[in-house]
Structure 1
Amino acid sequence: MLKLIILGFYMPIMLTSLLLARHIFYTYVMESFDHKSIILDYLMEGLIFFIHEIIIIDFSFISLDLICFQYVLPIATFFLGRKRYANLNFILTPLIVFGFLKLKTGLVSTALIQIYLKAFLVWLTCWLIVMLKNIGFFGKFSLALSFINIFNTVITFFTLRNFYSIQDRIILFLCILFGTALIIIFIYAYLRDLKRRREMKKQITYDSLHDRLTNLLNYRAFSVFVSEQTSQDDLTILMIDIDNFKNLNDQYGHIVGNQILRFFANKLNSTFLKEYKYEVFIYRFGGEEFCVIIRDISVTDCYQTVLNLKKVLKEHPFRLKTHQKIDFSFSGGIARSTKTIHPRDALRYADTLLYQAKKSGKAKVNYGEEDQG
């Protein structure tokens, strides 16, 4: 009865704990090392794997008088970790098993060949399962773990057929299958929770850098971007402000005002992304103020795109649900950072040009000379 509990419950829990410990070690320890030594990586992996594998083999042998689940760590590393580490695991596993049995039972040296042959078949099975199509990575891991544990158990019981009755072999076999299923369930639950946490972290990061109303980048994202730039970066900066937006809010209400902001943000985004694709960054600073940063284009090219935006707004104006058209305009200022002008200075100059455009009548976009400081 104790053997059944160990096979069906205790070992799966222990193996899952070791797998999680390995994952945490790689995530928070190995990846935090500031080094580029592949040899050191392999030495650390080999040491950790050796310790964990000895724990599994020793506990299995002492408790059950046989070795089982010895390929769980290599298979998990193969499908859920790094294949280069998995290959090392498959090389080390036969050596560890042979060395352990040599010390415990005086196993003959020729048995090492048989143990390596089994390890090679397990490794080959993993590669064949990887090639299967229409199955996710976790499905492949589950298939490989189940098949290989069955294969390993059958081989082990065939080798030790004189030590176990048929009834004992069937019971132990079913317990190993149950234990394998538990490992798969535990790992699935962990990976699902890990995915949820990563998505949550990703969403928090996204929210911190984007404006909730328009989904454009926000001022915090702009500050991060500018802090990473140098005076060598060639950026054209456009500052835009919707004209008389307060009057629109007063006349139509804040709900319609928000709709206008979203509408304008979408047109701004689509117009510039269509022209420049991945080299444009669009921000909402707050209220009705927006900023566009484009790499490696001239001020006049940027101005031409602004004219295209005006054309788009004229041809496709904002309309209420009642189909009432609401016309609005915007003012802007364009400046460029160069080798002698830092992006922050270019931003201030673009803001000054925007202010001048609004002061001189609005619905205008001013731009400085290419070498303007």
Structure 2
Amino acid sequence: MNEIVTLGLIMPIMNICFLFCKFHFFRLYENEIRQQFLKYGVLAVFFLVFGFVMATFSLNYFQFISFQYTVPITAFFFDGRKRSYFTFILVPLTIALSLSVNGLFSLKAMMVVLIEAVGTILFCELIQLLNKLDVFAKYATSIIIINIITPIENQYKWNLVLTDQLSTFSLPILIGSIIITVLVCSYVKVMQKREATMEKLEYETNHDNLTALLNYRAFSNYIIRITNQTKVNYTILMIDLDNFKRINDQFGHLEGNHLLKSFAKKLRHFFEIKYQEKVKVFRFGGEEFCIVLKNVSLEDGYETIWEFEELLSKADYSTTDGEQATITFSGGIANTDKKINIHETIRNADAAVYMAKSNGRAQIVCPDCSID
């Protein structure tokens, strides 16, 4: 009965509590702890203390060590290879520490522990290759099998499954492994669902429903984040579609929205292919758009916006009824290269758009460009 309670309930709950604490610690503080060395140092201290307590408790109570790979296996399937391999390395250290304190340490013991650790890693890697199984099935298989076959007696042998202790200890370990699997998988599924909901909410908050571009709220937050980045050069391109009210009046607002969506798709596709991670495209409001280029020169940005204008002039825009429509835009460009802050740069680009419209529309104004 003691085996059922301890191996089937108490030790599994201790493992689960540590896993939850580890997960929430890194979830809350990982972004604040910038140094990788410090992150893994904190994890090492926590795991060494926990592993030592678990190993010593199991060794003194049952004369063998069990559940030692629960944390690294969980990390392997749900937390990434890097952190899981780190915890796999820590397992032999915790066992060595426990054996030393109990006067059982020997080279033979460590050889068994190291071979067992390598075998456990290989088993997880092989299970991972089974593409027909989902991650939860792979995790459950690994936890149950490894927990049953890897307990180490104080004689440093894997002989639990070969002796009469099979029925005494293996069944409680199986029960405990099932409890760990059910609780961890349930928790992960709940967190995945919650994170998916949060991601969807964040997307809807920061993206325009019609064009799927980043919206003005996202623009404002982005500008706040980059305001003090004095060592980074930002080029701002402001674009305002010409006479879009006339398009709405001619074809109707639904068709106007269709054409606006089509233009936004071309705009984002062109600039993201050209600059990839260096660009952010925003719907600034109505038929006005803003493109923020990071570490792109003013002249390069100016040439690129003309390339897009040429591409746009060759594109066929048509309504859902097949009627042809012409879309042109006025643009303004400015950047922070001359020690001008980002807010003033935005105002300068917006003023350049107004100048382009005043000069007859369908043109791009760059007051500071030095292109012949």
1:13 aligned partner: 13
Check conservation: 1:53, 1:93, Cα contact below 8 A.
yes
**One-letter amino acid of the counterpart of residue 88, structure 2:** A
SS of aligned partner of 1:215: coil
The answer to whether 1:119 aligns with 2:113 is yes
Structure 1 residues 305, 27: CA separation in 2 closer, same or farther (over 3 Å shift)?
Answer: closer
Partner of 1:49: 48
Determine the C-alpha separation between the residues in 1 that align with 2:139 and 2:112: 19
Shift of 1:259: 1.4
Is 2:197 the counterpart of 1:200?
yes
**Which residue pairs with 1:105 in the alignment?**
none
State the distance in 1 between where 2:345 and 2:156 align.
Answer: 78
Which residue does 1:151 correspond to in 2? 149
Query: Sequence identity, in percent?
Result: 28
Closer, same or farther: CA 174–20 of 1 in aligned 2, 3 Å:
same
Name 2:66's counterpart in structure 1: 68
Q: 1:270 to 1:45 in 2, by over 3 A?
A: closer
Q: CA deviation digits over 1:12-66, x for unaligned, max 9?
A: 333222321233234435774577765x96477335532464257537855x676
Gaps of 5+ in 1: 103-108
Q: Partner letter of residue 147 of structure 1?
A: I
Q: TM-score of the superposition, structure 1-length normalised?
A: 0.78
Compute the TM-score of the two structures, normalised by the length of structure 2: 0.79
Match of 2:316 in 1: 317
How many Å separate the matches in 1 of 2:46 and 2:333?
59
Q: What residue number does 2:25 align with?
A: 25
Change (3 A) 1:74 1:315: closer
Instruction: Give the secondary structure class of the aligned counterpart of 2:150.
Output: helix
- Which residue identity lines up with residue 285 of structure 1 in the other structure? F
Structure 1 residue 144: deviation in Å?
Answer: 4.2
How many Å separate the matches in 2 of 1:37 and 1:305?
Answer: 42
Residues 95 and 112 in structure 1, CA contact (< 8 A), matched pair in contact too? no
Cα–Cα, structure 1 residues 31 and 243, in superposed 2: closer, same or farther, change >3 Å? closer
The separation in 2 between residues aligned to 1:67 and 1:310, in whole angstroms, is 70
Q: What one-letter code is carried by the residue in structure 2 that aligns with 1:222?
A: F
- For residues 220-247 of structure 1, what are the alpha-carbon distances to aligned partners after superposition, in whole Å with 9 as ceiling and x for unaligned? 3333443415455433322111122223
Structure 1 counterpart SS, 2:333: strand
**Greater mean alpha carbon deviation, residues 43-52 or residues 251-260:** 43-52
Cα deviation, residue 289, structure 1: 0.6
In structure 1, C-alpha distance between the alignment counterparts of 2:305 and 2:29, rounded to whole Å = 50
Aligned partner of residue 322 in structure 1, secondary structure: coil
What one-letter code is carried by the residue in structure 2 that aligns with 1:119?
A: V
Within the candidate set 171, 189, 212, 1:215 is matched to 212
Inter-partner Cα distance in structure 2 for 1:295 and 1:158: 59
> For 1:227-283, what per-residue CA distance to the aligned partner results, in whole angstroms no more than 9, with x for missing partners?
415455433322111122223334433322221221111111222233333333221
Deviation larger for 124-133 or 87-96? 124-133
Indicate yes or no: 2:223 matched with 1:226. yes
Q: Kindly indicate whether the alpha-carbon contact (under 8 Å) linking 1:279 and 1:294 is maintained by their aligned counterparts in 2.
A: yes
Q: Distance in 2 between matches of 1:34 and 1:292?
A: 30
Task: Pick the structure with greater CA Rg.
Answer: 1
Residue pairs, 1:259-274, within 5 angstroms: 259-274=258-273
Deviation at 1:130, TM superposition (A): 4.9
Q: Deviations over 1:179-238 (max 9, x none)?
A: 223322322222233333333344444334332321222223333443415455433322
* Contact map agreement 1:330 1:364 (CA 8 A) in 2: yes
Paired residue for 1:183, among 180, 191, 202?
180
Distance in 1 (alpha carbons) for counterparts of 2:64 and 2:278: 62
Supply the distance in 1 between the matched residues of 2:122 and 2:148 (Cα, whole angstroms): 17
User: What is the distance in 2 between the residues matched to 1:295 and 1:266?
Assistant: 21
Tell whether the 8 Å contact from 1:15 to 1:56 is kept in structure 2 after alignment: no
Q: Deviations over 1:303-333 (max 9, x none)?
A: 4433333333333222222211222322222
Amino acid at match of 1:305: T
Distance in 2, Cα, partners of 1:275 & 1:52: 51
Confirm or deny: 8 A CA contact 1:232 1:339 kept in the other structure.
Answer: no
CA distance in 1, matches of 2:252, 2:218: 29
Provide the alpha-carbon RMSD of the alignment.
3.8
| Contiguous gaps of at least 5 residues in structure 2 | none
Distance in structure 1 (CA, Å) of the matches to 2:75 and 2:97 = 18
Asked if 1:289 is matched to 2:288, the reply is yes
The residue number in structure 1 matching 2:129 is 134
